[in-house]
Amino acid sequence: MKSNPSTIKNNIYFEIAQVVKALANPIRLELLHLLCQAPRTVENIAQLTGQSVATTSHHLRTLLAARLLTAEKNGLYVTYRPASDDIGNFWVRLLDLTRNHLVDLQTLGIANLAEVDADQSIERVTLMAQMRRDEVALIDVRPVEEYEAGHIPGALSVPLENLEEMLPSLPWDRQIIICGRGPFCMPSLMAMEIFHRRNQRAKCLVDDILQWKAAGLPVKVGTDDLVD
């Protein structure tokens, strides 16, 4: 029996609406962003977001039902990850769309980047040029598991919780650039505060690893650049 074109159209819009419905929640958006940084267990992501395990599980199941995530059970733990690289690319496009069309969010996000001015932040193109000239040291302040899952080649892993004790090991002969999860990244903001308290200058990279990937730039996996 031949399908009715109207039915096909309605089914397509219904499936799109299911995805939009799954994303129409700020907690689920945060979960998706974190999972695009690295795969995580329910317990780990609950700790990061300050949600209960039960609440986190509920939101993750909603994203799973919309086929935005996959889940793998290993013993007692379930690890969630994005269903494909398209999810990270979608996040980048969604962020760009939101920043371009909601002035309040744009003002909050850009100005909130450690409340820095243009002289204290750096764009991707400028960073690339300076890295080629070996003028900067890129410090990735995300947790190690996110760094291992993918980081900008040449970035040093200095998780926020270890930053103060590792400051003497940093290459101070170069400009320090902090990278995290983009313009709304609390670890980046807190890292900037640490540098400011010590009267040491640093800049923040506006982009995160997802935007770096979406631009077609190389991403390195592993822990080759951990700082001792």
- Domain 5-83 in CATH 1.10.10.10? The answer is yes
Per mean pLDDT, which range of 1-5, 38-42, 48-52, 71-75 is the poorest? Answer: 1-5
CATH architecture of 87-214: 3-Layer(aba) Sandwich (3.40)
Question: Could you tell me the pTM of the whole model?
Answer: 0.81
pLDDT band at 124; cut points 50, 70, 90: confident
Reduced to 3 states (helix: H, G, I; strand: E, B; else coil), residue 174 is coil
pLDDT band at 115; cut points 50, 70, 90: very low
In degrees, to the nearest 5, what angle opens at C-alpha 10 toward C-alphas 5 and 14?
A: 150
At 165, which amino acid appears?
Answer: E
Residues 196-215 pLDDT 10s: 888 888 888 888 899 888 88
Rounded-to-integer distance, Cα 224 and Cα 153, Å:
10
Reduced to 3 states (helix: H, G, I; strand: E, B; else coil), residue 224 is coil
Highest mean pLDDT among 5-19, 101-115, 144-158: 144-158
Cβ atoms of residues 159 and 224 within 8 Å: no
- Whether the pLDDT of residue 217 is over 50: the answer is yes
Looking at the chain, which residues constitute the CATH 3.40.250.10 domain(s)?
A: 87-214
Looking at the chain, which residues constitute the CATH 1.10.10.10 domain(s)?
A: 5-83
Which residues have a Cβ under 8 Å from the Cβ of 166 and sit 6 or more positions away? 158, 227
